[in-house]
Chains A and B, each alone.
Chain A
């Protein structure tokens, strides 16, 4: 027994070393595979926009900015990015204004059935998704005469994200200190004025998070504008991108590559900006 025990120590150490080595190998191989899986598809977006002769495969570019010139000369492409901006900012403003008013009132006044209302809203917005409700939404917009209207798209998209906005903003409003509002009230400020001058500045991090989240949701949305808009001149980038073909019927890769990059950069930049500034790792999680 004692002899065995004496002999066991170096053996066990050896096994630990081996285990450690295998662990290191496994970790390294796994990390490399994960990186390959996530990086390789994106490489095209990095190289092709700067390639004089872009093709579908990934290759180091013959460097040029010409593809961006092609893009700038295409009114359809530039217009569609403008349309995405209109939809994104329009929805953002709408949900921020309606969401602030609603969440402030829910946060400060005990309206009967408030908690039930909040949970019902959250439940509804997660089950009535763009895909599940595309048929009735399309018909509703036909009846309202809002087909091919950007305003109509903004209304539908805002209706879909507003419940989540109210739910998160209420949390932010709950955590802003109330003493400022009391003193503002003592000086005779009206509620709307208090909301605008006192509460909104205090809730700015929450509002910024929500603003970015709303823009990211709408900026990349394909389905809703795809079914509700008819004219290419009103369609956003997500939809128009699939109409870029050459006369030969092939995808126009010079245009698509530069366009994809320009279309992706704003959301990537915003995401990482807000992530760094406000650390919203987790609120970013509610992308649907």
Chain B
């Protein structure tokens, strides 16, 4: 009894009772919805009408429809471009470059830069989207004034590019923080000896820094991929338009299921999303476990 860590004399029964409320909440509001998606996805459930009262079993129709639906395939393609460009490339590369540059500037400069990068991440998303809406506005936007691009309607002309830059702006802070702490773990002596033998910046990065932070880079990529894949925020900037040109999966599901009422079809696509999430998260957790042991 003494060495199992149960110093307060909780006992198994009471420990279970302490655990139960939390597990109940998680089961009802997190696990159950996910399991229910399995069922909903094989029905023709709708928000209203007869299919709302008596949903019928339709087998794999929703999945077959989705996979042969141009709007779904378009959305999937856009999502892949969005995640790759804004997370894997945008946030990682920018975050690393900032972290790397900030190790070699004066402290106040570093503090100011980090403050503003973090700010973009902390400000509530409804506000950041409005800030970007103002920045990119056609007639009064600051960007047009700065670039003298006349009345360029960025959000209509380049919707996907706009949300990619926006999401890079919002999320770079995480990569910056993660790579800052990763760079701090690179032994200074190794950097010093690389410099002594006359290695340039690129050689230092390739031979000393990258081998040390490979694990961090992978962790970073998986996490931001997962978050970017699941972000709904671009909805507030472009609402998926114009003509579905920024209709990434979360927005596609929202419009299909909750606007048009096709809940069964929406659930099928939700499940596809959950499965993709599962693949990314499983790889991540496996890495985490490997590093711990």
- Given A102-B23, A160-B30, A241-B126, verify A56-B140 contact (CB < 8 Å): yes
Contact (A27, B101) CB under 8 Å given A109-B5, A109-B6, A288-B230: yes
With A23-B201, A135-B257, A195-B8 already in contact, the answer to whether A241 and B285 are too (CB < 8 A) is no
Asked if residues B131 and A129 are in contact (CB atoms below 8 Å), the reply is no
Give the contacts of B98-150 with A (CB-CB under 8 A): 98, 101, 104-105, 109, 112-113, 116-128, 130-135, 137, 140-142, 145-146
Tell me the bound Cα distance from A134 to B230 in angstroms.
11
Instruction: Determine the chain A residues whose CB is within 8 A of the CB of B135 once the complex forms.
Output: 40-41, 44
Report the Cα distance A220→B281, complex, angstroms: 24
Contacts of B18 in A (CB 8 A): 101-102, 104-105
Contact partner, A111, options B16, B200, B254, B263, Cβ 8 Å: B16
Asked if A30 and B97 sit within 8 Å, CB to CB, the answer is yes
Per-position 1/0 for A53-72, Cβ under 8 A of B: 00111100000000000000
**Which chain A residues lie closer than 8 Å to B89 at the CB level?**
none
Residues of A within 8 A of B124 (CB): 219-220, 237-238, 263-264, 267
Inter-chain contact A222/B10, CB cutoff 8 Å: no
Does chain B have a CB within 8 A of A204? no
Which B158-190 residues have a C-beta within 8 angstroms of A? 169, 174, 177-178, 181
With known contacts A45-B131, A123-B281, A285-B174, A38–B270 Cβ distance under 8 A: no
Q: Contacts A35-B116, A98-B25, A111-B16; is A222 near B105 (CB within 8 Å)?
A: no
Contact partner of A131 (CB less than 8 A), chosen from B14, B32, B36, B253, is B253
**Any chain A CB within 8 A of the CB of B277?**
yes
B197: interface (CB < 8 Å): no
Closest to B178 in A: A285
Nearest opposing residue in chain A for B123, CB measure: A264
A contact face: mostly helix, strand, loop, or mixed: helix
- Is B155 engaged at the interface, CB distance under 8 Å to the other chain? no
Instruction: Decide: A137 and B127 in contact? CB cutoff 8 A.
Output: no
How many chain B residues sit at the interface, stated as a range, is 35 or more
B21 at the interface (CB under 8 A from A): yes
> What residues of B have a CB within 8 angstroms of the CB of A278 in the complex?
none
Question: Once the chains bind, are B122 and A133 in contact (CB under 8 Å)?
Answer: no
B1-57 interface (Cβ within 8 A of A): 4-12, 14-16, 18-19, 21-23, 25-26, 28-34, 36-37, 40, 45
Chain B residue nearest to A143 (CB atoms) is B36
**B residues within 8 A CB of A271?**
118, 122
* B-side contacts of A227, CB under 8 Å: 254, 258
Per-residue 0/1 for A22-57: is the Cβ within 8 Å of any B Cβ (1 yes, 0 no)? 010001001100110111111111000000000111
Q: Does A268 count as interface, using CB distance less than 8 angstroms?
A: yes
| Cβ of B226 under 8 Å from chain A | yes
Contacts of B213 in A (CB 8 A): none
Residue of B nearest to A45 (CB): B131
Residues of A within 8 A of B127 (CB): 45, 241, 260, 263-264
Chain A contacts for B273, CB-based, 8 A: 131-132
- B242 to A: closest C-beta gap in Å: 18
Chain A contacts for B101, CB-based, 8 A: 27, 30-31, 34
Q: How far is the CA of A102 from the CA of B23 in the complex (A)?
A: 8
How would residues 1 to 31 of chain A score, 1 for a CB under 8 Å from any chain B CB and 0 otherwise?
0000000000000000001000100010011
Contact A109 B11 (CB under 8 A): yes
- Chain A residue numbers with a CB within 8 Å of B137 are 56-57
* A-chain residues with CB within 8 Å of residue B7 when the two chains form the complex: 108, 178-179, 181-182, 185
Q: Which of A57, A178, A181, A284 contacts B145 (CB 8 A)?
A: A57
With A105-B16, A158-B29 given, is the CB distance from A110 to B5 under 8 Å? yes
Nearest to B166 among chain A residues (CB) is A41
Contact A109 B15 (CB under 8 A): yes
A44, B30: Cβ atoms under 8 Å?
A: no
B140 touches A136 (CB 8 A): no
Does B267 touch A at the CB level, under 8 Å? yes
Inter-chain contact A134/B254, CB cutoff 8 Å: yes
Other than A34-B98, A128-B277, A131-B250, give 20 A-B pairs with Cβ distance below 8 A.
A44-B135, A94-B25, A99-B22, A105-B18, A108-B6, A122-B285, A123-B285, A128-B33, A131-B231, A131-B273, A133-B33, A134-B270, A135-B267, A136-B33, A222-B232, A256-B130, A260-B130, A264-B124, A271-B118, A285-B178
The 6 A-B pairs at the shortest CB distance, nearest first, are namely A159-B29, A220-B124, A105-B18, A136-B33, A109-B15, A127-B277
